[in-house]
Amino acid sequence: MPPSAEIIHLTDFDLDDIEKTFTPAKFERKLSPNKINKIAQAIMDNKFVDNVFRVVNGSGSVTYDVIDGQHRIAALRHAREYFGLQAYDIILFCYTGGNQREIYRRLNLGKPLTLSDHLKALDTGRIAYFTELREVCEHYGNTKFRYSTILNWLHYAKSTSIRPVRPIAVDDFLQGVTSIDIKKVKLFVPVLQQIATNPDSPFYRYTILRNFFRVYFENKVPDTQMVQLGQLLLKSSKVIELAEKRDTFAMRGIYHYIIDIAAPKVGLTLAKGDVKK
């Protein structure tokens, strides 16, 4: 059953009031400056027709939180500041019931939301995967690991499938992430940082990193030997060459290289599993 909502017409809405009336919901995706500029230009050229914004009652000092239309709101602000636009007709579709984050995700099913976008929408502050990994993770940016990156480590380690987590199914996968899984991630990160501190290192290519985490996840290996194993992989021209391919052949090749060739060189006998498509 659709969530309840009401339609509100804001005729000749004064754009000077935009900041105190609207703010993007905390779980909205990152803004694209290029998209904002294009919408603003379309508004000024009178070629923009989508003036319907989906909102919920404001969670702070503003009147409404925007759950679909943040780029359009930003574009109206841009049009006010750079082109002198003073007013604009706006129609609000204001949801008065239902789960706001779930409404946002369902509204955006037809849009190219990334796994990071979906995860941000699910991060309510009450899910252990997010709260326990906050020190080493972020939704966007490059100063920490992305939650989406680590989730795909876990997905590969737990399912042995090289396919990434499907964004629309991510909430189901999150429910299966245990406290033990989270603990292993937290223990793994310092090991990784001893091997490669530069984010541009080939070690951070997903074909190497997911396989390396899987080995750590499936086996009880001392940190010192994991570091030795990682350093050995970095020195292998075969592994670096495979990592460039970023395909099923590369994933399988690197996994078997770790198990069959690299591990024995550092005195390890590792469990060997499948690599599924």
89-125 residue pLDDT tens: 999 989 886 677 777 777 766 666 788 988 988 898 8
**Residue 4, by phi and psi: left (phi above 0), alpha (psi -120 to 50) or beta?**
beta
Q: Which residues contact 67 (CB under 8 A, 6 or more apart)?
A: 25, 28, 54, 55, 56, 95, 100, 103, 104, 107
pLDDT value at residue 275: 85
pLDDT value at residue 199: 81
Binned at pLDDT 50, 70 and 90, residue 28 comes out as confident
**CATH 3.90.1530 given to domain 5-104:** yes
Closest by Cα among 228, 231, 4, 163 to 98: 4
| Placement of tokens 């190497």 in the chain | 208
pLDDT value at residue 49: 83
- Stretch 225-242: mean pLDDT, rounded? 94
**Residues 84-110, buried b or exposed e (16+ Cβ, 10 A)?**
ebeebebebbbbeeeebbebbbebbee
Q: Could you give the percent of the chain with pLDDT greater than 70?
A: 97
Q: Is the dihedral of CA 118, 189, 216, 253 positive or negative?
A: positive
pLDDT one-digit tens code per residue, 123-166: 988 899 999 999 999 998 778 999 999 999 999 999 999 988 88
Binned at pLDDT 50, 70 and 90, residue 76 comes out as very high
What mean pLDDT value characterizes the chain? 90
Where in the chain do CATH 3.90.1530 domains reside? 5-104
**Contact criterion met (CB below 8 Å) for 226 and 183:** no
DSSP per position, 145-186: EEHHHHHHHHHHHHH-B-SPPPGGGHHHHHHT--HHHHHHHH
